[in-house]
Amino acid sequence: MKEIVNTKIKFIEPFRPFAPVILAEQVNHYFSGSNLQNQYLPRYMQMVAPILEDKQEQIQAVCHNGTGRLQAIRQESNPFYYQVIEKFGEATEITVLLNTSYNLRGEPIVNTPEDALRTFAYSDIVLLVMGNF
Protein backbone atom coordinates (compact mmCIF):
# COMPACT_ATOMS: atom_id res chain seq x y z
CA MET A 1 0.00 0.00 0.00
CA LYS A 2 2.87 2.38 0.77
CA GLU A 3 4.14 1.99 -2.77
CA ILE A 4 0.71 2.71 -4.27
CA VAL A 5 0.28 5.91 -2.25
CA ASN A 6 3.82 6.98 -3.07
CA THR A 7 3.32 6.40 -6.80
CA LYS A 8 -0.06 8.10 -7.05
CA ILE A 9 0.31 11.16 -4.82
CA LYS A 10 3.11 11.56 -2.29
CA PHE A 11 6.27 10.80 -4.29
CA ILE A 12 8.33 10.69 -1.09
CA GLU A 13 11.31 8.57 -0.16
CA PRO A 14 10.35 4.96 0.64
CA PHE A 15 11.75 5.19 4.19
CA ARG A 16 9.35 7.99 5.19
CA PRO A 17 6.44 6.56 7.18
CA PHE A 18 2.71 6.97 6.73
CA ALA A 19 0.46 7.29 9.75
CA PRO A 20 -2.26 4.97 11.09
CA VAL A 21 -5.71 6.36 11.81
CA ILE A 22 -7.86 4.17 14.04
CA LEU A 23 -11.13 4.17 15.96
CA ALA A 24 -10.37 5.37 19.49
CA GLU A 25 -12.04 2.29 21.00
CA GLN A 26 -9.71 0.00 19.05
CA VAL A 27 -6.35 1.59 19.93
CA ASN A 28 -5.39 -1.02 22.54
CA HIS A 29 -6.07 -3.83 20.04
CA TYR A 30 -3.23 -2.56 17.83
CA PHE A 31 -0.93 -0.37 19.95
CA SER A 32 0.83 -0.56 23.29
CA GLY A 33 2.25 2.05 25.60
CA SER A 34 1.58 3.71 28.91
CA ASN A 35 0.67 6.96 27.14
CA LEU A 36 -2.45 5.47 25.57
CA GLN A 37 -5.00 6.28 28.24
CA ASN A 38 -8.37 6.68 26.54
CA GLN A 39 -8.92 10.29 27.59
CA TYR A 40 -5.59 11.42 26.09
CA LEU A 41 -5.59 9.66 22.73
CA PRO A 42 -4.22 11.87 19.93
CA ARG A 43 -6.82 13.49 17.66
CA TYR A 44 -4.07 14.35 15.18
CA MET A 45 -0.93 12.56 13.97
CA GLN A 46 1.13 13.79 16.91
CA MET A 47 2.20 10.77 18.96
CA VAL A 48 4.27 7.72 18.12
CA ALA A 49 3.21 4.45 19.75
CA PRO A 50 4.53 0.89 19.50
CA ILE A 51 2.42 -1.40 17.33
CA LEU A 52 1.68 -4.77 18.94
CA GLU A 53 3.97 -7.40 17.44
CA ASP A 54 1.13 -9.64 16.30
CA LYS A 55 -0.46 -6.70 14.40
CA GLN A 56 2.61 -5.30 12.64
CA GLU A 57 2.27 -7.41 9.52
CA GLN A 58 -1.49 -6.84 9.35
CA ILE A 59 -1.00 -3.05 9.23
CA GLN A 60 2.46 -2.98 7.66
CA ALA A 61 1.64 0.03 5.45
CA VAL A 62 1.62 2.21 8.60
CA CYS A 63 4.30 0.36 10.57
CA HIS A 64 7.71 2.05 10.78
CA ASN A 65 10.32 0.28 12.89
CA GLY A 66 7.51 -1.30 14.90
CA THR A 67 5.76 2.00 15.60
CA GLY A 68 3.07 4.24 14.15
CA ARG A 69 2.38 7.98 14.32
CA LEU A 70 -1.08 7.48 15.73
CA GLN A 71 -4.32 9.37 15.15
CA ALA A 72 -7.39 8.17 17.06
CA ILE A 73 -10.87 9.11 15.81
CA ARG A 74 -13.87 9.45 18.10
CA GLN A 75 -17.39 9.29 16.74
CA GLU A 76 -18.42 12.53 18.44
CA SER A 77 -15.50 14.53 17.03
CA ASN A 78 -15.62 13.32 13.41
CA PRO A 79 -18.69 11.15 12.69
CA PHE A 80 -18.07 10.81 8.94
CA TYR A 81 -14.41 9.75 9.22
CA TYR A 82 -15.33 7.44 12.09
CA GLN A 83 -17.98 5.77 9.94
CA VAL A 84 -15.54 5.30 7.03
CA ILE A 85 -13.09 3.48 9.32
CA GLU A 86 -15.91 1.53 10.97
CA LYS A 87 -17.27 0.33 7.60
CA PHE A 88 -13.75 -0.62 6.47
CA GLY A 89 -13.40 -2.59 9.70
CA GLU A 90 -16.69 -4.40 9.08
CA ALA A 91 -15.51 -5.39 5.60
CA THR A 92 -11.92 -6.35 6.51
CA GLU A 93 -11.82 -6.86 10.31
CA ILE A 94 -9.09 -4.16 10.39
CA THR A 95 -10.01 -0.83 11.98
CA VAL A 96 -6.85 0.98 10.86
CA LEU A 97 -6.40 3.03 7.70
CA LEU A 98 -3.34 4.67 6.21
CA ASN A 99 -3.43 8.41 6.83
CA THR A 100 -1.30 11.11 5.26
CA SER A 101 -1.54 14.79 4.44
CA TYR A 102 -3.39 15.51 1.21
CA ASN A 103 -0.93 17.28 -1.03
CA LEU A 104 1.35 16.51 -3.93
CA ARG A 105 5.09 16.69 -3.42
CA GLY A 106 6.19 20.32 -3.25
CA GLU A 107 2.63 21.61 -2.88
CA PRO A 108 0.93 23.00 0.23
CA ILE A 109 -1.57 20.83 2.07
CA VAL A 110 -5.06 20.96 0.56
CA ASN A 111 -7.16 23.57 2.35
CA THR A 112 -10.28 24.10 0.22
CA PRO A 113 -12.60 21.95 -1.90
CA GLU A 114 -11.03 23.58 -4.97
CA ASP A 115 -7.56 22.56 -3.76
CA ALA A 116 -8.83 19.01 -3.23
CA LEU A 117 -10.25 18.79 -6.74
CA ARG A 118 -7.10 20.27 -8.29
CA THR A 119 -4.85 17.83 -6.44
CA PHE A 120 -7.15 14.97 -7.44
CA ALA A 121 -6.98 16.04 -11.11
CA TYR A 122 -3.16 16.20 -11.11
CA SER A 123 -2.62 12.87 -9.36
CA ASP A 124 -3.37 9.27 -10.22
CA ILE A 125 -5.89 8.95 -7.40
CA VAL A 126 -8.96 7.02 -8.56
CA LEU A 127 -11.48 8.16 -5.93
CA LEU A 128 -12.00 11.32 -3.89
CA VAL A 129 -14.47 11.43 -1.00
CA MET A 130 -15.59 14.89 0.14
CA GLY A 131 -18.49 16.35 2.04
CA ASN A 132 -21.18 18.50 0.43
CA PHE A 133 -19.46 21.58 -1.00
Residue 43 has pLDDT above 80, yes or no: no
Least confident residue range of 3-17, 59-73, 102-116:
3-17
Sequence ranges of the domains in the chain:
19-99
Instruction: Please state, in angstroms and rounded to a whole number, the distance separating the CA atoms of residues 17 and 100.
Output: 9
Identify the CATH homologous superfamily for domain 19-99. Answer: Carbamoyltransferase, C-terminal domain (3.90.870.20)
Residue 13 has pLDDT above 60, yes or no: no
pTM of the model: 0.77
pLDDT score for 6 = 57
